């Protein structure tokens, strides 16, 4: 591990065009469970599998049940950025990192101070009325019971990409642009199995591809450096 961290430090020192691509594993050290770890949400038992509950169809048909799960499992109002979020923000301030591209919906990269954050799957911090479009913060959902309602009577929906829904095209295009032009790409804390997000890393054309993940990622990437370990602990040593 020591040798791998030394190599990572060398790569980071030599680059001023780093792009980070991450997922739920980036926030587990902040106390937010991911989906696929041993203690992730997919190993817990619910009436339906999480990917069913978090689908567009389920949301449309069973909103109250969707929100029971969503409030209990997807909101983490007390979570704070960990060493990984903080290090990435520090690299951006230092002019080394160009963008964080995240599948996370928790807002922790921005809380840590990162500015160029592309949220592929939206954010729990933004919500809107399905009828009149009025915007609501996370409190409107966290403090609600059953289905949160707008003052106009419409249902409030999280600005989160549910299964079966498409990703924002502008965000996707920007993500492709950053990855394609990156000198160094760090992929961290993601199983890399949720598409189309996972497919974005294929746009990288450089020779400094680093993977920092607990366990293997979904597809062989031919990475130049692979570090199997907790990303917060790893990045805090760089």
Active site residues: 121
Stretch touching ligand NAD by CB under 6 A, among 6-14, 126-134, 136-144, 226-234? 226-234
CA 138 to chain centre: 17
Cα separation, 89 vs 235, in Å, equals 12
Closest to ligand NAD by CB, 25 vs 150, is 25
Closest to ligand NAD by CB, 43 vs 205, is 43
Q: Which of 15, 110, 127, 213 binds ligand NAD (CB under 6 A)?
A: 213
36 closest CA partner among 193, 221, 188: 193
Q: How far is the CB of 4 from ligand NAD (least distance, A)?
A: 13
Residue 15 backbone class (left: φ over 0; alpha: ψ -120 to 50; beta: rest): beta
Closest to ligand NAD by CB, 97 vs 124, is 124
Q: How far is CA 196 from CA 30, 150, 163, 210, 226, in A?
A: 26, 32, 11, 20, 23
156-160/122-129 β-pairing: antiparallel
- Residues in 137-156 at the binding interface with ligand NAD, rule: CB under 6 A: none
If binding is defined by CB under 6 A, does position 29 make contact with ligand NAD? yes
Structure tokens that stand for 64 in this block: 């109250």
Stretch touching ligand NAD by CB under 6 A, among 19-27, 128-136, 142-150, 174-182? 19-27
Q: How far is the CB of 151 from ligand NAD (least distance, A)?
A: 28
Cα separation, 52 vs 36, in Å, equals 15
If binding is defined by CB under 6 A, does position 109 make contact with ligand NAD? no
If binding is defined by CB under 6 A, does position 28 make contact with ligand NAD? yes
In degrees and rounded to multiples of 5, residue 220 shows phi and psi of: -70, 130
If binding is defined by CB under 6 A, does position 32 make contact with ligand NAD? yes
Stretch touching ligand NAD by CB under 6 A, among 22-30, 109-117, 142-150, 170-178? 22-30
């Amino acid at each position: 591990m020591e040798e791998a961290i030394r190599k990572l430090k060398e790569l980071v020192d030599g680059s001023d065009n780093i792009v980070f691509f991450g997922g739920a594993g980036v926030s587990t050290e902040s106390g937010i469970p991911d989906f696929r770890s041993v203690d992730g949400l997919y190993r817990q038992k619910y009436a339906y599998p999480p990917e069913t509950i978090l689908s567009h169809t389920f949301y449309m048909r069973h909103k109250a049940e969707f929100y029971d799960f969503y409030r209990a499992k997807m909101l983490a109002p007390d979570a704070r950025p960990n060493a990984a979020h903080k290090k990435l923000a520090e690299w951006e301030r230092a002019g080394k990192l160009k963008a964080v591209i995240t599948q996370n919906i928790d807002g922790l990269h921005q809380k840590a101070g990162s500015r160029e954050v592309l949220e592929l799957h939206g954010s729990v911090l933004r919500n809107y009325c399905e009828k009149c479009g009025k915007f609501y913060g996370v409190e409107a959902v966290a403090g609600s019971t059953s289905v949160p309602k707008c003052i106009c009577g419409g249902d409030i929906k999280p600005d989160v990409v549910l299964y079966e829904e498409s990703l924002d095209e502008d965000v996707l295009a920007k993500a492709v642009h950053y990855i394609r032009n990156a000198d160094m790409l760090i992929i961290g804390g993601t199983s890399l199995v949720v598409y189309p997000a996972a497919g974005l890393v294929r746009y990288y054309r450089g020779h400094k591809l680093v993977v920092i993940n607990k366990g293997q990622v979904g597809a062989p990437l031919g990475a130049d450096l692979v570090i199997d370990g907790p990303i917060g602990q790893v990045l805090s040593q760089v």
